[in-house]
Amino acid sequence: MSKVFLISGLGADTRLYNNIDIPEDDEVVPVDWIEPHETDTLDNYAQKIIYQYDIRQNSVVIGTSLGGMLTIEIAKKVNIKKAILISSIKTIKEAPGYFSIFKALPIYKLLPLMLLNKPGFLIKPMFGHLKDSDAWLFNDMLSKGSPKFMKWAMGAVLNWSNITIPPNVHHIHGDKDCVFPVKNIKDATIVKGGSHIMIFDKAKQVNKWLKPILNK
């Protein structure tokens, strides 16, 4: 039996994993966001997650988007059993070109905090077109998120400089991901038609590849 830690992406919580199948013998641990200090990087924020949730060597960590980047940082500090990235990037070399633009022109810093968790602010650019029933869930996740966390996370992501891929990393990515285009992604299992939220809206296809990784 393993502890399986679930880390969601920016603007979401672990309800993002509602449609994902985890082996019954494993203990599922949803990771809630810890309020960051403004000087935190993804590197030391990952250390806080490790400490808060007591992540150890026999653990499995699954991270989506921002959560995948944190999963990499966790795996660099703890030799975890498996680090599974979904719709994310392993190193800065896989980052899209717009990272450089927004790093040079950090307009996110000018956004009012009250705007950041307004329903709809990230729905279109981050999550794309959703059915009404799914849009309600994503709106609810956004509205309950911390604006302070979201602004910090934008900066931490843009300033991430990792070039190291730790052991035991598995990567699942969609070929229609607009946030992290597949053309930049190396050594990943590709889900046809998978968008940035395929963990939710194409869970059947994701489970097809995730199940054998978890059962290894």
- CA 84, distance to chain mean position in Å, is 10
The confidence score (pLDDT) of residue 119 equals: 47
pTM equals 0.90
Summarised one tens digit per residue, pLDDT across range 24-47 is: 899 999 999 999 999 999 999 999
| Residue-range domains of the chain with CATH | 3-215 (3.40.50.1820)
Under DSSP, is residue 4 helix (H, G, I), strand (E, B) or coil? Answer: strand
The confidence score (pLDDT) of residue 164 equals: 97
Q: Which residue would you say has higher pLDDT here, 135 or 181?
A: 181
- Are 202 and 193 a contacting pair, CB within 8 Å? yes
Summarised one tens digit per residue, pLDDT across range 50-105 is: 999 999 999 999 999 999 999 999 999 999 999 999 999 999 999 999 888 888 87
Banded model confidence at residue 123, pLDDT cuts 50, 70, 90: very low
